[in-house]
Amino acid sequence: MFEIEVNGRIIDASPGETILSALKRAGIRVPTLCHMNDLMPSGACRICVVEVEGMRGLIPSCSYPVQEGMKIKTNSAKAIQARKTIIELLLANHPDDCLYCVRNGNCKLQGLAEEYGIRERHFTGKKSRGNIDITSPSIVRDQSKCILCGKCVRICEEVQRVSAIDFVGRGSKTVIAPAFNNNLNVSSCINCGQCVLACPTGALREKSYLREVSEALADPEKIVVVQHAPAVSVSIAEEFGIKPGTDIAGMMVAAFKRLGFKKVFDTSYTADLTIMEEASELVHRVKTGGVLPMMTSCSPGWIKYVEQFYPEFIDNLSTCKSPQQMMGALIKSYFAEKEGIDPAKIFSVSVMPCTAKKFEAGRPEMGRNNIFDIDAVLTTREMARMIKMHGIDFNSVVPEEADLPFGTRSTAGKLFGGTGGVMEAALRTAHFLITGKEMKSLKVEQVRGLDGVKEAKIKVGDLQVGVAVISGVGNASKILEQLKEGRKDLHFIEVMTCPGGCVAGGGQPIETDKEKIKTRLQALYTIDQTETLRTSHANKAVQELYKEYLKEPLGEKSHELLHTHYTKRDVLV
């Protein structure tokens, strides 16, 4: 370590790190637009420029290495004027529709304009008039709002390794788009929405179904029900200024009731059901010499990734539907029969941390008798907007429990919200199914945390089970390539599309800071540590469903409602 001077203050710096890295560690803020943590700097936006004594011109702090004895001014008159000029140039051809933009109040460009006191237009440019691409079931692209920072390209290519979008054209005609400037529906996009989280403006957003849900709630002929995913209750609080990682499940259920939903169900219940089916499927494959390693199937972006890029592993995927789709199927079968309701009159809504769930709900195999299991998917962000729209104050609501018959869950089902959670829940139940006994410690430390790839050997009875947990599909190719080369020591692989799992899904609050992601994940671990029902197979509500309706895991009724199939698809479909 050596010392540098910043704004008259001495701070420590490490050889080889950038100026920005040293400044951030010291708690000194410099604004950025194009910078992405953990990726090589691009230096594209120049918003982070600083003045260094003895150097001509301004230096981009995100890409320039520190040197011993540097004297830096982060907010000199020259640096501030340069930033203001860059912001004014970006605004010169940016649409003036902030009042209508989904990112109004949460736009980095808008925030910088406010921070640097932009109050008049110094540059006049031709307003961007790019096409709005609404072809994707999950994501909307508005090229007119794109500032060419490149963050969406980098997250798609360098992190997720999907490369659905890139810079197209040259010079002033450059845009960001799929190959040949096509639309997203004919690209390799897996609908994960990580590009939406990365985008600093409203150039990328989720396709909203708020209007359809509002119309259904206003229709007296509709029975509108809603389910909420495990990760939503530990993240939606941030949209209302509540401490990150706070679990507000009860308050959220009460808010949903105020909105007019007839029933509020907990998707963690069908996460428990997924474990019953998935763990049984794993045990069956191990005992009968089935296709191994088995891979999880509850993350729809991952499913599309396999269908497009690694179709040779389709048979390795569990045939289980995701918890969202299991819940949807049960609502329009078991629940409808139990309540004497025509399934066609039920409007089934799910609140998910994921944009790819919108795509999943529209898959043709996800329904029966020309009725889709799920009618509309709202992201965590959309539901927060809806709650705000109706003036619901969380401080004034009395917490309520989710409704029966799909309201009781174990903490294993709740763990589905984070990377490693499906694996941990499945191992708990697989151990019980094989040995008839509970694991000595239900906490499986080896599969916890935010690492992109985690591997472990877990003793289950006489069997040494090889497991891998993958966070972010970009990391999946490493294991898949090893399997193609003949690796044989893995039995079960969990893959979550988004880095960190559902707590960092593409439909979550716009926040990519790792510390906030950690707080959401830790909230799930805290729930698991503090509650008593910690295994899916011990959930009496799930046991009752089998006794009354499904009969047994992997049985005829279970296969009809809870299992599906996947098909190789062309990479451009």
Alpha helices for 147-266 (secondary structure H): 151-154, 194-198, 210-217, 249-259
**Locate tokens 């809504």: which residue?**
349
Indicate which residue of 215, 312, 337, 365 is catalytic: 365
292-315 pLDDT tens trace: 999 999 999 999 999 999 999 999
Alpha-carbon gap, residue 424 to 427, rounded angstroms: 5
Structure tokens at 342: 């025509």
DSSP secondary structure string for all residues of 249-311: HHHHHHHHHHHT-SEEEEHHHHHHHHHHHHHHHHHHHHHHT-SSSEE----HHHHHHHHHH-G
User: Could you count the other beta carbons within 10 Å of the beta carbon of residue 243?
Assistant: 8
Indicate which residue of 192, 195, 298, 498 is catalytic: 298
In the DSSP assignment, the letter for residue 415 is: G
Residue 81 has what pLDDT?
Answer: 96
Q: Smallest Cα–Cα separation from 191: which of 147, 232, 241, 139?
A: 139
In the DSSP assignment, the letter for residue 402 is: P
Structure tokens at 50: 């600083």
Residue 513 has what pLDDT?
Answer: 81
**Checking DSSP bridges between strand 453-460 and strand 463-471, what pairing results, if any?**
antiparallel
Alpha-carbon gap, residue 441 to 103, rounded angstroms: 45
**Locate tokens 């420029």: which residue?**
49
436-445 pLDDT tens trace: 999 999 999 9
Q: Give the H or E element holding residue 469.
A: strand 463-471
Has residue 71 got a pLDDT over 60?
Answer: yes
Domain spanning 128-205, CATH architecture: 2-Layer Sandwich (3.30)
Has residue 378 got a pLDDT over 60?
Answer: yes
Residue-wise over 64-86: b if at least 16 C-beta within 10 A, else e? bebeeebebbbebeebeebbbeb
Alpha-carbon gap, residue 137 to 21, rounded angstroms: 38
User: Could you count the other beta carbons within 10 Å of the beta carbon of residue 186?
Assistant: 16
Q: Is 357 a catalytic residue?
A: yes
pLDDT band (50, 70, 90) for residue 573: very low
Q: Confirm if 522 and 419 have CB atoms less than 8 A apart.
A: no
The structure's pTM equals 0.94
Has residue 350 got a pLDDT over 70?
Answer: yes
- What percent of the chain stands above pLDDT 70? 99
User: Could you count the other beta carbons within 10 Å of the beta carbon of residue 422?
Assistant: 32
User: Could you count the other beta carbons within 10 Å of the beta carbon of residue 408?
Assistant: 19
Has residue 571 got a pLDDT over 80?
Answer: no
| Cβ partners under 8 Å of residue 505, min gap 6 | 193, 231, 352, 353, 354, 355, 380, 497, 498
Residue 454, SS3?
Answer: strand
125-160 pLDDT tens trace: 777 777 899 999 999 999 999 999 999 999 999 999
Q: Is 298 a catalytic residue?
A: yes
Residue 509, SS3?
Answer: coil
Q: Smallest Cα–Cα separation from 408: which of 279, 264, 307?
A: 264
Q: Confirm if 423 and 274 have CB atoms less than 8 A apart.
A: no
Structure tokens at 518: 């950690």
Alpha-carbon gap, residue 205 to 132, rounded angstroms: 11
Q: Is 365 a catalytic residue?
A: yes
246-278 pLDDT tens trace: 999 999 999 999 999 999 999 999 999 999 999
Q: Is 318 a catalytic residue?
A: yes
Alpha-carbon gap, residue 142 to 195, rounded angstroms: 13
Indicate which residue of 238, 281, 382, 494 is catalytic: 281
Residue type, 275: I
Say what the alpha-carbon torsion angle 362, 366, 328, 534 is, to the nearest 10 degrees: -110
CA 459 to chain CA centroid, Å, is 31
Alpha-carbon gap, residue 446 to 418, rounded angstroms: 14
Indicate which residue of 278, 307, 382, 494 is catalytic: 278
The dotted CATH code for 211-562 is: 3.40.50.1780
Q: Give the H or E element holding residue 347.
A: strand 346-352
Q: Is 455 a catalytic residue?
A: no
Of residues 369 and 272, more confidently modeled: 272
Assign 3-class secondary structure to 99-132: HHCCCCCCCHHHHHHHHCCCCCCCCCCCCCCCCE
Has residue 3 got a pLDDT over 90?
Answer: yes
Q: Confirm if 164 and 187 have CB atoms less than 8 A apart.
A: yes
Residue 570 has what pLDDT?
Answer: 81
Say what the alpha-carbon torsion angle 444, 450, 456, 462 is, to the nearest 10 degrees: 30
Has residue 572 got a pLDDT over 60?
Answer: no
Indicate which residue of 321, 357, 358, 516 is catalytic: 357
Lowest mean pLDDT among 56-70, 243-257, 373-387, 510-524: 510-524
Phi/psi-derived region of residue 160, left when phi > 0, alpha when psi is between -120 and 50, beta in every other case:
alpha
- What percent of the chain stands above pLDDT 90? 91
In the DSSP assignment, the letter for residue 436 is: S
In the DSSP assignment, the letter for residue 531 is: -
Indicate which residue of 318, 410, 471, 558 is catalytic: 318
Q: How far apart are the first and last CA of the chain?
A: 52
Q: Smallest Cα–Cα separation from 419: which of 299, 337, 567, 246?
A: 299
- What 7-14 contacts at long range (C-beta under 8 Å, 24+ apart), as own/partner pairs, is 7/72, 7/73, 7/74, 7/75, 13/66, 13/68, 13/70, 14/66
The dotted CATH code for 2-88 is: 3.10.20.740
In the chain, domain spans: 2-88, 128-205, 211-562
pLDDT band (50, 70, 90) for residue 361: very high
Say what the alpha-carbon torsion angle 388, 393, 397, 399 is, to the nearest 10 degrees: 60
| Cβ partners under 8 Å of residue 244, min gap 6 | 235, 237, 238, 516, 519, 520
Alpha-carbon gap, residue 442 to 528, rounded angstroms: 10
Q: Is 360 a catalytic residue?
A: yes
Alpha-carbon gap, residue 354 to 191, rounded angstroms: 9
